[in-house]
Structure 1
Amino acid sequence: MLDKPERIFDREFEWRHLSAFAGRAHERPQLGVISGRRRQGKTFLVEALARETGGFYFGATEATETESLRLFSDALADYADAQVPMRFASWDEAIRQLFLVGADRRRPLVIDEFPYLSKVSPALPSIIQREIDRAVSSRAPVSLLLCGSAMSVMGGLLSGSAPLRGRASLELVVRPFDYPLAARYWRIDDPRLGVLTHAVVGGTPAYLRFVNDDIPAGLDDFDDWVQRTVLDPGTPLFREARYLLEEEADVRDSALYHSVLAAVAAGNGTRGGIAGYIGRKAADIGHHLNVLEDSCLLRKEADVFRQGRSIYRVCEPLITFYQMVMRPQWGLLESGRARSVWLDARTRFRDQVIGPHFEQLCREFARVEPVFGELPGEVGAGVVADPSRRSQIQVDVVVFAPAVPGQPHRVLALGEVKWGKRLTLEHAARLQRARELLAAKGLDVRDTVLACFSGAGFDPALRTESGVRLIGLEDLYPPRA
């Protein structure tokens, strides 16, 4: 196990797998694929791995095939201490030479931002597949890591009938930090401030550098922090949400994709709702939704109580913030009117950004820990129909036990979430009614916990109510040991 460099914050899981991959480099041929949205620290990890092991690292750039080959040739010649310059006429020659060097050195070989190369040289995955197969046949100990940020491209490398399918021994996705870890990374101890900050920048590590290590000093500083960082056109974070979309290889008409994201950020999560918001037919936006899903900018979540019904949600908090706060007043922001725009947008931020974001954090809280007696099988949200009252009950957090064939689905918890309101006995009564309706539908609710999540506290009467679990900010952000 390689010691993780001190400059790498956390990433214990990722480093353990990369270290194990490097440890097998002298034994047998292997292929690894590392993906993740931009700014998550993938390059930081693979560069550190190459440095610690004496491996080869090549970071591709947007270039023609000829220029990319020249840059690759120079990097490989330098690594191999070649006495004469290497010049390859094709990737066929270049990859063959790379595998020869790899078999000789027995160290990891890293090609970063691989989608830049495969975009201008579509045959490259097939060439690598052929050389991997040859290495397997000859038992040549070559260890190749392909790394990239274009999720739609990287996700397709090992899928379906792709040339590299079945060849990889490592498939690693580098994800944003979860919300408690993000608070630690930003050195934020106040749970309320942690939620507010996460609703803007999420768990992407690079954004701390984008704001020059500017951290909100406290709740009283949050408004000023927003204005001097994400709303300031002089910071890299200002245009980041636009770049996240435009950097994806499969995005052509970015205006339409921005409209789809705006629709979802505004709460129009169904396909019909999205289509109505942007003025298109539902059948016309299927491709755009698929591209945004493949790019990990949207995710589709099932309504846990209504089969066949699903809702789309924006994956990246910064995109939601951009769509709801920044995009409607982009011209004013570019002219330096951050204060005026933020004063006008604070209500939208509270209702359409922080509220839904807090609900998502509560579902994440319920998903990762056995907070309701045992590890959950499924966590989501759903709508329970109440025919006798001709109404519906929206349940923000639903936790199921792992399914057991032949037995009714067991509900561990039903949760109500409010960011800016104190929860009362009325909210508990709604959950109790939902539990009764689910029992009538045949679900097992004998041990179902009624959970009230709040960012603003609880009514004194609710605190004395038996059978109701109260979960506040201090529970979502427990003190570090």
Structure 2
Amino acid sequence: MKPEYVFDRDREWAALERFATSLGDEMRLAVVSGRRRQGKTFLLQALADTLNGFYFVAVESTSPDALRQFGTAVASYLGVEGTLAFGSWDEAITYLLDHCPDRLIVIDEFPYLVKADPVIPSILQREIDARGVGTRGVHRGSGSRVRLVLAGSAMSVMGKLLAGQAPLRGRASLDLVVQPFDYRMARQFWGMSDPRLALQVNAIVGGTPAYRTRFVDHEAPGDDLDDWVIRRVLSPETPLFREARYLLSNEMEIRDEALYHAVLGAIAAGNNTRGGIAGHMERKSTDIAHPLAVLEDCQLIRKEIDPIRKRSVYRVAEPLVTFYEAVMRPAWSQLERGWGDRVWQGSRARFASQVVGPHFEHVCRQFARGREWGGEFASEVAAGVAPGSGRGQNIEVDVIVLAPQDGNHKRRLLSAGEAKWSGIMTLGHLRRLEQARDQLHVRGLDTRDTVLALYSGAGFDPALTEAAARDPHILLVDLPALYG
């Protein structure tokens, strides 16, 4: 049973508990990954404590030093006096598995061990195969019931453990990614009643649990967001100040941090296509192909597909990085001098347009993804462009909600939506959506029951409210509804 001190994570805990307590006389492997600060260590320590398992967290070190630390941890767990002096990782791993034949074993920050000694995954492959069940169900080992969990935050490394020709490919029974809290759960975690404040804070720090605790000294913003941002985010003495930089430096495959920050800065400034990013950086598109791939592997950016034009667009996946690139990085020297109040006052418009506005659109897409539309859930939700024809102009649509493809029938457009963080929405916004719907109909979508959704952080004028009251195909979503 999940301990009461573990907030949420019900799905993750259930998956880990099923794995750790599963029946069967063979060794099994789980891989748990997720970016730093998401609570993986907290979750896995709680699991190990609950099931009396072995837990070891690796640190960046040489192979001999890591082996000594591992020997000390194994000795402590098994009640052996002093330390265990292993001569190799082969000896150490075999010893642990032999002496814990029915235990949960958790090795956290596993990429550090791989960096220290790349042969470790191959040793584990051999042991899993030797203590497992063959392809025909014939037991090949000694009845081991070891449940081994390998965890890590270096996403580019963890993503390759089970890929391609990697030694552990095909050996895992569980591949779990611990994600940040979504915007609703983050609001609960921060204990905020005001949805407007909650969304602005979410646009800065996202759903990363650690940013609510020691990173801000357990202080949530009160009525004055400005004061909290200046003291807790823009002050050089606080942990959040350099955190966005550390997110890059912690990834092992990133060498030229300046190049990667330039890519992130271009995306944060609104350049979402590969050509747009390259143009902003004054580089060729081919020059940024590798940085884009690495940042995507690290889950610092995400690639989305415009469902209408089938073109790729890139967005920063970590809100703190967007905030850093849009607000902090351009004024870094001023911030280091302690001029956070000046920087914040001068960047409020940029904060609204480059940070909160795009984040609000993303949250609206999350809302649409989890909502029923006429009794049906969406199979695809994304931003896209309704292409004009003849004298018609292209119309950007912030939230396109599509039903699954049903054979040879036209694909149904469940909803087309526009999201505006600032400014009262009017009938003009509704007319624009109607035009976009009509253009998407011409493009071959079934729009007979399409809901026109208007998402606003500032509200709706009376004429639009009256129109929505008369027409069930018009949906108005304000901040309370978004969080409802």
* Aligned residue type for 1:32: A
Counting matched residue pairs gives 471
Q: 1:251 aligned to 251, 254, 258, which one?
A: 254
Contact 2:402 2:414 in 1 (8 A): yes
Give the C-alpha shift of residue 28 in structure 1: 3.2
Residues 164 and 468 of structure 1: CA distance in aligned 2, closer, same or farther (over 3 Å): same
Structure 2 partner of 1:295: 298
* Aligned residue type for 1:10: D
Given the two structures, how large is their TM-score scaled by the length of structure 2?
A: 0.95
Task: Please state whether the residue corresponding to 1:130 is helix, strand or coil.
Answer: helix
Q: In 2, Cα distance between the equivalents of 1:95 and 1:415?
A: 55
5+ residue gaps, structure 2: 133-139
Q: In 2, Cα distance between the equivalents of 1:45 and 1:85?
A: 27
Residues 399 and 372 of structure 1: CA distance in aligned 2, closer, same or farther (over 3 Å): farther
Structure 1 partner of 2:163: 159
Contact 1:25 1:143 in 2 (8 A): no
Deviations along 1:402-437, one digit per CA (max 9) or x if unpaired, are 222222111100001100011111111111111111
Contact 2:103 2:147 in 1 (8 A): yes
Q: 2:220 aligned to 197, 215, 218, which one?
A: 215
Deviations along 1:9-57, one digit per CA (max 9) or x if unpaired, are 1111111111112212774321000000000000001111111111101
Structure 2 partner of 1:473: 479
Structure 2 partner of 1:431: 433
Structure 2 partner of 1:304: 307
Q: In 2, Cα distance between the equivalents of 1:433 and 1:168?
A: 50
Contact 2:453 2:477 in 1 (8 A): yes
Answering whether residue 256 of structure 2 is matched by residue 260 of structure 1, we say no
Q: In 1, Cα distance between the equivalents of 2:23 and 2:321?
A: 40
Q: In 1, Cα distance between the equivalents of 2:321 and 2:396?
A: 25
Give the C-alpha shift of residue 85 in structure 1: 3.5
Give the C-alpha shift of residue 370 in structure 1: 1.5
Contact 2:68 2:85 in 1 (8 A): yes
Structure 2 partner of 1:140: 144
Give the C-alpha shift of residue 95 in structure 1: 1.1
Contact 1:231 1:338 in 2 (8 A): yes
Deviations along 1:218-274, one digit per CA (max 9) or x if unpaired, are 2xx011111011111111011100000110010000000000000000000100111
Q: In 2, Cα distance between the equivalents of 1:340 and 1:461?
A: 40
Contact 1:32 1:169 in 2 (8 A): yes
Contact 2:66 2:113 in 1 (8 A): yes
Residues 326 and 84 of structure 1: CA distance in aligned 2, closer, same or farther (over 3 Å): closer
Contact 1:25 1:108 in 2 (8 A): no
* Aligned residue type for 2:29: L
Contact 1:454 1:472 in 2 (8 A): yes
Task: Please state whether the residue corresponding to 1:391 is helix, strand or coil.
Answer: coil
Q: In 1, Cα distance between the equivalents of 2:100 and 2:327?
A: 50
Give the C-alpha shift of residue 284 in structure 1: 1.1
State the 4+ residue runs in structure 1 displaced beyond 6 angstroms: none
Answering whether residue 61 of structure 2 is matched by residue 63 of structure 1, we say yes
Deviations along 1:430-459, one digit per CA (max 9) or x if unpaired, are 111111111122211111111100011111
Q: 1:197 aligned to 191, 201, 205, which one?
A: 201
* Aligned residue type for 2:380: E
Q: How does 1:426-465 map to 2 (within 5 A)?
A: 426-465=428-467
Structure 2 partner of 1:23: 21
Q: 1:273 aligned to 246, 271, 276, which one?
A: 276
Structure 1 partner of 2:113: 117
Task: Please state whether the residue corresponding to 1:388 is helix, strand or coil.
Answer: coil
Contact 1:77 1:86 in 2 (8 A): yes
Answering whether residue 246 of structure 2 is matched by residue 240 of structure 1, we say no
Q: In 2, Cα distance between the equivalents of 1:47 and 1:277?
A: 44
Q: 2:125 aligned to 129, 136, 142, which one?
A: 129
Identity within the alignment, %: 55
Task: Please state whether the residue corresponding to 2:347 is helix, strand or coil.
Answer: helix
* Aligned residue type for 2:188: R
5+ residue gaps, structure 1: none
Q: In 2, Cα distance between the equivalents of 1:368 and 1:92?
A: 47
Contact 1:25 1:107 in 2 (8 A): no
Contact 1:102 1:143 in 2 (8 A): no
Give the C-alpha shift of residue 114 in structure 1: 0.1
* Aligned residue type for 1:150: A
Q: Bigger shift: 431-440 or 413-422?
A: 431-440
Q: In 2, Cα distance between the equivalents of 1:362 and 1:280?
A: 33
Structure 2 partner of 1:358: 360
Q: 2:40 aligned to 21, 42, 45, which one?
A: 42
Give the C-alpha shift of residue 159 in structure 1: 1.2
* Aligned residue type for 2:202: H
Structure 2 partner of 1:182: 186
Residues 148 and 92 of structure 1: CA distance in aligned 2, closer, same or farther (over 3 Å): same
Give the C-alpha shift of residue 390 in structure 1: 4.5
How much is the aligned-residue C-alpha RMSD, in angstroms?
1.2
Q: 2:77 aligned to 76, 79, 92, which one?
A: 79
Q: In 2, Cα distance between the equivalents of 1:370 and 1:29?
A: 42
Residues 372 and 310 of structure 1: CA distance in aligned 2, closer, same or farther (over 3 Å): farther
Given the two structures, how large is their TM-score scaled by the length of structure 1?
A: 0.96
* Aligned residue type for 1:151: M
* Aligned residue type for 1:463: T
Give the C-alpha shift of residue 372 in structure 1: 5.1
